[in-house]
Amino acid sequence: MKTIIWDIDDVLNDLMRDWLELHWKKKHPDCDVLYDEIVENPPHRLLNISFEDYIHSLDEFRVEKSSFMQPVPEIKEWFRINGKNFRHIALTATPMSLATHSAAWLFKHFHLWFRSFNVAPSPREDGVDPSKTTKKNFLEWLGKGDIIIDDNPFNIREVRDIGIETLLFPRPWNSSKLSIKEALELLNELLQGIKVTENVNETGIRS
């Protein structure tokens, strides 16, 4: 049985979209930036705010409203059909001080399939050194996993170096040109053992 490593934020859910539309714009109604225009992550430069202000607002959203986020519909449907056929590991980059919110969200919506929740800490002023646990070195330590799904190109490049199959999940801030539906179709092909990796570049487009 193959093991899939899933990022949580902006893969299983729509954290950036929900934060922007349900939190940031509620407090800053003059903001006219659309979700599809978030071509950088973190997006503080696009919003003309400091990185610290962005992080503070995002963490505030995690505490106050993240429990109301819904799973990405296509992802939830994929799990309904295919989830029982694989093992699933969650590996998220979130502050350790807020990891309980992420874990609660995961098991609320995906408890039928996940038995493992893991964190590669995001940098915060909480005494936790994020350099000690990147997604790459966590997976090197774990020694398990057939494919990782992540929206961060840096994580994809790093994990690819240790021999784990990768799938860049399409979001406006990365180079994937696939739709979510197409990305999940590609995931099914990879899981079926079709050797497409050598013919798929970082954008997710077969060459």
Residue 199 is predicted with a pLDDT of 38
Name the pairing type of β-strands 147-150 and 114-119. Answer: unpaired
Question: What pLDDT does 206 receive?
Answer: 38
Nearest to 116 by CA among 3, 11, 13, 9: 3
Please provide residue 10's backbone torsions phi and psi, each rounded to the nearest 5 degrees. Answer: 70, 15
User: Of 94, 86, 87, nearest to 122 (Cα)?
Assistant: 94
**Residue that has been written with the tokens 């053992």 in this structure:** 193
**CA distances (Å), 81 to each of 38, 77, 88, 110, in order?**
31, 6, 14, 13
Beta bridge partners of 6: 90, 149
β-pairing verdict for 114-119 and 3-6 = unpaired
Does the pLDDT value for residue 106 go beyond 80?
yes
Q: Read off the pLDDT band of 198 (50, 70, 90).
A: very low
Note the pLDDT of residue 129: 60
Q: Where are the domains of the chain?
A: 3-13+72-199, 15-68
Residue among 93, 19, 122, 31 nearest 62 (CA): 19
- At residue 205 the predicted structure's pLDDT band, cuts being 50, 70 and 90, is very low
Mean pLDDT of 84-104: 95
Asked whether residue 77 carries a pLDDT value surpassing 60, the answer given is: yes
- pLDDT tens for 115-165 read 999 999 886 766 556 566 789 999 999 998 999 999 999 999 999 989 899
Order of strands across the sheet that contains 3-6: 114-119, 87-92, 3-6, 147-150, 165-168
Rounded to the nearest integer, the mean pLDDT of the chain is 90
Confidence check: pLDDT of 22 > 90: yes
- Distance CA(175)–CA(46), nearest Å, equals 18
Residue 51 has pLDDT above 50, yes or no: yes
What CATH number belongs to 3-13+72-199? 3.40.50.1000
pLDDT band at 93 (very low <50, low <70, confident <90, very high): very high
